[in-house]
Structure 1
Amino acid sequence: MNPKPAKKSSKTTTKPTAKPRQPPKIDLPGPDVHGLRELPKLQVDGYSLQLRDNEGFVGDQASQTAFRALLERWRRKHRSDGTDPLGLRHSRDMSKKELDRLLRGQKVSDAANVMHSAIGEFAQELAAVIQRFLHQPSWEKVERIVVGGGFPESEAGERAILEAGAILEEMGVHVQLGRLSHEVDDGGLIGWVHLTPPEMLKKHDAILAIDIGGTNVRCGIVKTRHRKARDFSLAKVVRREKWRHADEKPSRTNFVEHVAGMLEDMVRYAERKKIRLAPFIGIACPGLIRKDGSIARGAQNLPGDWESENFHLPSALWRRMPMIGSGPTLVLMHNDAVVQGLSELPFMRDVGHWAVLTIGTGLGNASFTNRK
């Protein structure tokens, strides 16, 4: 007897459809992460001090802008005797290389004399500003000051700093003045290795960093090299791009778009060179940075209103680059003088209290106390 055939089920069976893969949830940087002051190896005692006198902010008297104004004043004195020894162009439009060429002239000339007069007066202003800072509670124990920013990379700037140091000694103010240990353009990038969460560095080679100034923006890839030197003393910028935004006078929106484009170019370069980027972006920016990443004050040299409650640069850049590699991006912001100072941390362990001055379009400042 043949077995009865099995009854066919009236129900049709279908394979369950796979649920679409959801992208990982990414949160914007939260509060209490920007502008950190308490770090494992040091404390940020103060930064972005804005001291006033009858002429306005004290720091404005020792900026690169102030030096150009002094130089123009000395040129006017010589113009009354005849032609201008530096030519027809305004001092603010002359490059540092042009001014250094006039200063290095083999023969003593009227141009060199004008340059030396401006440098001497600027050195006196710088010494007076430093003396004022040293009277502030956050600076009173400072033993060494590192000078960064764009001005010291010129010969005129270097001479002004040396003269300011000599003037301070004559005044009985015993504080060491020194230069950055690496290229000036790298300081505001390298300092970010000390502010990157350590867990982000374990499986990565490098970070992205931005240094925003009143004239230029620098964007770069910083190799931490923490396996060779745990104190980050060998950290190195392996690629850097510089944009002189002051010439183009962009709107705030166009400024952010351009910076985002610079960052995206760095990511593509890292992929080509097989550099393992951490999902991190550090932004060094002028001004007093609140814990939520907004700017309280001091961003007057940047295009547009950066202190508006409707503007948040870390979020604006995060929206363009929410993921780097396989992880959600963390975007942090801190004051540019603080970050530039942190780049010197491995070389400042022999003093207890130290500070940094950045002489650029404005005068940035920060002071630190080392932890034992």
Structure 2
Amino acid sequence: MAETKTASIITHGASRLPSVEIDNYNIEIKDDDGFIGDRASKRAFQTILDDLRKPLRKLKKDPFGDVPSAEISKKKLDAAFDSDDGDASGIIQGAVEEFGQQLAGVIKRFLKAKNWKDTEHIVVGGGMRDSKYGARAIGRAGVILKSDGIKVDLQPIRNHPDEAGLIGAVHLAPAWIFQAHDSILAVDIGGTNIRAGVVELNTKKAPDMSKAAVWKKELWRHADDSPKRDEAVKKLAGMLKKLIAAAEKEGFKPAPFIGIGCPGMIEPDGAIDRGAQNLPGNWESSKFNLPSELIEHIPTMGDHDTVVLMHNDAVVQGLSEVPFAQDFKHWGVLTIGTGLGNARFTNRSNGKD
């Protein structure tokens, strides 16, 4: 019986999960100017910011000096947003307005796609959501959509995006795998950072896992080290082993399960079809399989064989909202980062008829 259950869940990138059907993810809509999603990315915001700074730069009155827009920290941008410096606040508020317009335009285009029609609710995650200016841009886009008569609820993702990408992993596997366990291991892989964490399930407080929370996490900014692919896998395995030891020492009983969110189109066998170009080395090679590699490093957890399940990173971040999206039948997630991650879900139960 145990073997049958294990086999039944080892479908990476699955379209059917315990709580939701994934209608699609990582869609790439193009027009004559390129990919639509690129207009609502971190780079798009930086381009807008740069354009607004140019006139003041010519007058040598740019409040951000010679610092390239891509290198201005979120903390500094947030400070400028509320600054008494009219030039600084004016630039940021102008960028928020223009980006909000572009984000609303991108969402309108998404809602015309076959598998995004009838979407009632969209959460926005990714790095920009973790900023005052990002939250304001999301809010502005929501107002624009409502003003245009588009009935979709647009909200920032509930959890911090760095943790949402870990918490969502609890919704990848069926509930039976967590029996007699109180936590899981989760991994969120990005083009700059790799995060790994112990997610406490807290099912006694909330059986729907709405109280799931990151107990401890490790961060590796791999972009600074430029590792080879095998070195990156070894480093990740080391992070996970460290977290397992810490969890067990603290008295946790982690399930023999590692949930992974990774950029790209995830094949059923765990291979990555495309979309992993920003990761260290060639992760799209037919000879590379991250779940299998991790099982080689961590074959067992406790007395059980390790189960590793991988899906797209935007999907996993969106799954963190499952307990809070039960009033909707069709809902989606957008993650604003280097590009625009996306996924559309249909609740398998509890949604509107």
Give the TM-score of the pair, scaled to structure 2: 0.93
- What does residue 175 of structure 2 align with? 198
Letter in 2 for 1:207: I
Query: 1 CA distance for matches of 2:122 and 2:170?
Result: 21
Query: 2 CA distance for matches of 1:299 and 1:149?
Result: 17
Query: 2 CA distance for matches of 1:354 and 1:32?
Result: 25
**Larger radius of gyration, structure 1 or 2?**
1
- What does residue 178 of structure 1 align with? 155
Which has more helix, going by share of residues?
A: 2
Percent identity, please: 49
- What does residue 285 of structure 2 align with? 308
- What does residue 77 of structure 1 align with? 55
Query: How many residues of Structure 1 are paired with residues of Structure 2 in the alignment?
Result: 345
- Mean Cα displacement is larger for which, 143-152 or 171-180? 171-180
Per-residue deviation, 1:141: 0.9
Per-residue deviation, 1:187: 0.9
- What does residue 14 of structure 1 align with? none
Q: Deviations over 1:158-191 (max 9, x none)?
A: 1111111122223222211112222221111111
Letter in 2 for 1:346: P
- Structure 2 counterpart of 1:359, from 317, 333, 336: 336
- What does residue 219 of structure 1 align with? 196
Structural RMSD (CA): 1.9
Per-residue deviation, 1:291: 0.6
Per-residue deviation, 1:30: 8.9
- On the 8 A contact 2:23/2:346 being kept in 1, the answer is yes
Give the 5 Å matches for 1:290-301: 290-301=267-278
Q: Secondary structure at the match of 1:35?
A: coil
- Structure 1 counterpart of 2:80, from 97, 102, 108: 102
- What does residue 349 of structure 1 align with? 326
- On the 8 A contact 1:279/1:329 being kept in 2, the answer is yes
- Structure 2 counterpart of 1:61, from 30, 39, 52: 39
Give the 5 Å matches for 1:137-148: 137-148=114-125
- Structure 2 counterpart of 1:235, from 191, 212, 215: 212
Letter in 1 for 2:180: K
- Mean Cα displacement is larger for which, 358-367 or 295-304? 295-304
Q: Which runs of 5+ in 2 are unaligned?
A: none
Q: Which runs of 5+ in 1 are unaligned?
A: 1-24
- What does residue 19 of structure 1 align with? none
- On the 8 A contact 1:215/1:361 being kept in 2, the answer is no
Q: Secondary structure at the match of 2:185?
A: strand
Q: Deviations over 1:94-149 (max 9, x none)?
A: 211111111121x2421221112222211111111101100011110100101111
Q: Deviations over 1:326-345 (max 9, x none)?
A: 11111110011111111111
User: Does 2:93 align with 1:116?
Assistant: yes
